[in-house]
C-alpha cells in the first residue's frame, strides 16, 4: 500500500494529529484566554476526525505496512472514544474557570490522549499497540496532576505515573517475550505461530500474562486496580470523568483485539486469566465500595466492578460475548459520564466541590433535577430493571451461560446484588435523609445540564428505543473481530 493510501485509511488519526499541531500553535500565541475557543475547536476537530469513519469502505483495510487496520470494530470504538473525549472537554470549562486553572493545555492533552486511543484500537502490531498506549498514558499522567498547586492532584498524578511506568515495563517485557518465541510482532504472525491444538509454548504464555497485566492496569481490573480510588479522588473531576470513560473503552477494545486476533489459538490459556480477573474485579469492586464516604471513590470502585462485569463477555470467548462487551462499554460510558457531570454541577456557596456522600443528603429537596438524574444513573449502574443499564448486564450474563460459564454468570448476579446496596444507599441519602445544607449551582454551567439530561434519558427506559440499532451496530463490529 502506498503512502497516500495509508494516509487515506488512517484519515481519522491524520486529521487529529494535524489539528492538534494547529491548535497547539494557537494556544501558544493566545495563552490561557483561548481555553474556551480551543475547547470548542477541539470538539469540532473530533467531529471532523469522525467524518472519515462514516465514509469508510466496508471490510478490512490495512495500512502502514500492517501496523494499522481499519474495520467495523475500530470504527465502533473510535466513535465511542471521540464521544467521551468531546464531552470531557466541554464539561471542564466552567469547572476550570471557577477554580482559576483555566489553562489552554487541557483540551490539547485530551486530544493527544484521544489520538493514542485511536491508534490503540486500530493496532495490528505490538509496536503500534505500544505507541498508542504510551501516547494515551503520557497525556493522562499530566491530566491527573492538572491542578499542580493542589497536593491531592499532584499525589494522584505521581501515583498514576509510578504505577503506569510499571505497567509499561510489563508491556514491553511481555512484547519482548512474545517476539522472541513468535519471531514477529505482527498480530497475524503471532496467531500463526501459536495455533490452537499445538504444544503449549510456556515462553509465549508468560509473555501473554505480562501483556494482560499491563492492559489490566489500564482498565482497572483486579489485581492491578490499586491506583484507581486514589487517582479518582485526587484528580480534577472532569479529568476523572474522562479517565472513567474513553480510556476504559479504548483499553478494553485493545484487549479484545489482542486476545482474539493475536492469541486466538491460546484461548484456553487466556480465558482462565480473564476469568480470575473478572471474578476478583466484580467481588472487590462491589464489596469495597460499601465502606466509601466519598462519591468519587465510590464511583472508582463501581468502575472496577463494572470492568469485572464486562470481562465476563470477554471470558466467554464467543461472538456473542464480544457483542455483549461492546454494548456494555457503550452504556457504561454514558452512565458514568452522566454521573460525574452531575457531581460536577454540585458546589456549595463557597465554590467548594461537593464530593462526600454526606453532602448529598436531602439533595432531592434542594436540587430535584440533579438528584433525579443521579438516581437514574445509580439505578442504571446497579442494573435494576427497567433502567437501560440492565440490558448490558443481561447480555454478558447470557453470553457466559451460552459459553457454558454459568458459575461465572451466577457470581456476576450475586456481585450485582451486593453492588445494588451502595447504589441504592446514594438514592436513599438524596431522597430520604434531611438536607445537609444549601447546595447552589455556579453561575455558569455551559453544556453540563444538557449532557446530564441526555445521559439520564439514555440510561432510563427510553434507552430501549435505541436498543435495536445499537445491537445491530455492535453485531457488525463483533463480526469484524470474532
Q: What is the DSSP string of 380-431?
A: HHHT-TTSTTHHHHHHHHHHHHHTT-HHHHHHHHHHHHHHHHHHHHHHHHHH
State residue 25's pLDDT score: 93
For 459, the 3-state DSSP assignment is helix
| Dist. CA 210–CA 204, nearest whole Å | 10
Burial tier of 459 (Cβ tally within 10 Å: 0-12, 13-18, 19+): buried
State residue 253's pLDDT score: 92
Query: Which among 151, 98, 145, 148 is positioned nearest to 347, based on CA atoms?
Result: 98
For 184, the 3-state DSSP assignment is coil
State residue 196's pLDDT score: 57
Please calculate the CA angle 424-426-429 and round it to the nearest 5 degrees.
110
pLDDT tens digit at each of 482 positions of the chain: 677 777 888 889 999 999 999 999 998 888 878 888 899 999 999 999 999 988 877 778 888 888 899 999 999 999 999 999 999 999 888 888 777 677 888 999 999 999 999 999 999 999 999 999 999 999 999 988 887 777 777 888 888 888 888 899 999 999 999 998 888 899 988 988 887 555 457 788 899 999 999 999 999 898 888 888 888 888 888 899 999 999 999 999 999 999 999 898 888 889 999 999 999 999 999 999 888 888 999 999 999 999 999 999 999 988 999 999 999 999 999 999 999 999 888 877 766 777 888 888 888 888 888 999 999 999 999 999 899 999 999 999 999 999 988 999 999 999 999 999 999 999 999 999 888 666 666 545 678 888 899 999 999 999 999 888 988 888 888 888 85
Domain regions of the chain by residue span: 3-481
Query: Which among 211, 329, 316 is positioned nearest to 262, based on CA atoms?
Result: 211
The dihedral sign for the CA sequence 327, 317, 311, 127:
negative
State residue 200's pLDDT score: 59
Contact (Cβ atoms closer than 8 angstroms) between residue 114 and residue 82: yes
State residue 125's pLDDT score: 92
Phi and psi torsions of 206, nearest 5°: -65, -40
Please calculate the CA angle 310-354-347 and round it to the nearest 5 degrees.
120
Contact (Cβ atoms closer than 8 angstroms) between residue 172 and residue 210: no
State residue 444's pLDDT score: 53
Q: In this structure, what C-alpha cell is assigned to residue 156?
A: 494522584
Amino acid at each position: 500500500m502506498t503512502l497516500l493510501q495509508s494516509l487515506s485509511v488512517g484519515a481519522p488519526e491524520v486529521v487529529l494529529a494535524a489539528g492538534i499541531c494547529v491548535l497547539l500553535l494557537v494556544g501558544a500565541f493566545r495563552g490561557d484566554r483561548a481555553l474556551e475557543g480551543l475547547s470548542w475547536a477541539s470538539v469540532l476537530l473530533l467531529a471532523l476526525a469522525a467524518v472519515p469513519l462514516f465514509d469508510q469502505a466496508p471490510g478490512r483495510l490495512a495500512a502502514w505496512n500492517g501496523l494499522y487496520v481499519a474495520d467495523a470494530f475500530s470504527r465502533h470504538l473510535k466513535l465511542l472514544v471521540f464521544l467521551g473525549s468531546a464531552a470531557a472537554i466541554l464539561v471542564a470549562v466552567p469547572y476550570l474557570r471557577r477554580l482559576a486553572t483555566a489553562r489552554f493545555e487541557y483540551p490539547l492533552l485530551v486530544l493527544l490522549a484521544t489520538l493514542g486511543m485511536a491508534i490503540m484500537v486500530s493496532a495490528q502490531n505490538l509496536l503500534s499497540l505500544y505507541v498508542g498506549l504510551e501516547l494515551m498514558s503520557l497525556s493522562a499522567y499530566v491530566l491527573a496532576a492538572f491542578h499542580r498547586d493542589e497536593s491531592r492532584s499532584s499525589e494522584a498524578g505521581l501515583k498514576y505515573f509510578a504505577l503506569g511506568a510499571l505497567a509499561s515495563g510489563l508491556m514491553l517485557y511481555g512484547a519482548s517475550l512474545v517476539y522472541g518465541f513468535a519471531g514477529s510482532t505482527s498480530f497475524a504472525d503471532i496467531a500463526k505461530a501459536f495455533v490452537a491444538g499445538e504444544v503449549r509454548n510456556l515462553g509465549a504464555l508468560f509473555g501473554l500474562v505480562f501483556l494482560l497485566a499491563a492492559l489490566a492496569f489500564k482498565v482497572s481490573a483486579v489485581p492491578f486496580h490499586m491506583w484507581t480510588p486514589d487517582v479518582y479522588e485526587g484528580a480534577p473531576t472532569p479529568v476523572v470523568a474522562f479517565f472513567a470513560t474513553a480510556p476504559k473503552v479504548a483499553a478494553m477494545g485493545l484487549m479484545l483485539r489482542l486476545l482474539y486476533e493475536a492469541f486466538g489459538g491460546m484461548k484456553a490459556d487466556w480465558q482462565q486469566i480473564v476469568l480470575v480477573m473478572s471474578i476478583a474485579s466484580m467481588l472487590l469492586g462491589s464489596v469495597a465500595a460499601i465502606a466509601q464516604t466519598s462519591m468519587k471513590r465510590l464511583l472508582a470502585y463501581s468502575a472496577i466492578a463494572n470492568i469485572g462485569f464486562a470481562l465476563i463477555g470477554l471470558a466467554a470467548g464467543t461472538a456473542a460475548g464480544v457483542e455483549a462487551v461492546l454494548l456494555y462499554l457503550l452504556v457504561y460510558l454514558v452512565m458514568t459520564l452522566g454521573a460525574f457531570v452531575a457531581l460536577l454541577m454540585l458546589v456549595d456557596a463557597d465554590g467548594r466541590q461537593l464530593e462526600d456522600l454526606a453532602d448529598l443528603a436531602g439533595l432531592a429537596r434542594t436540587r430535584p433535577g440533579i438528584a433525579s438524574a443521579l438516581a437514574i444513573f445509580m439505578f442504571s449502574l446497579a442494573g435494576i430493571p427497567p433502567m437501560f443499564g440492565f440490558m448490558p448486564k443481561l447480555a454478558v450474563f447470557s453470553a457466559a451461560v451460552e459459553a457454558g460459564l454459568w458459575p461465572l454468570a451466577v457470581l456476576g448476579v450475586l456481585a450485582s446484588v451486593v453492588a445494588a446496596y451502595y447504589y441504592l444507599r446514594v438514592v436513599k441519602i438524596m431522597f430520604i435523609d434531611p438536607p445537609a445544607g444549601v447546595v447552589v449551582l455556579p453561575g455558569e454551567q455551559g453544556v453540563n445540564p444538557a449532557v446530564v439530561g441526555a445521559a439520564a434519558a439514555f440510561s432510563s427506559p427510553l434507552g430501549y428505543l435505541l436498543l435495536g440499532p445499537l445491537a445491530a451496530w455492535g453485531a457488525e463490529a463483533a463480526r469484524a473481530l470474532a
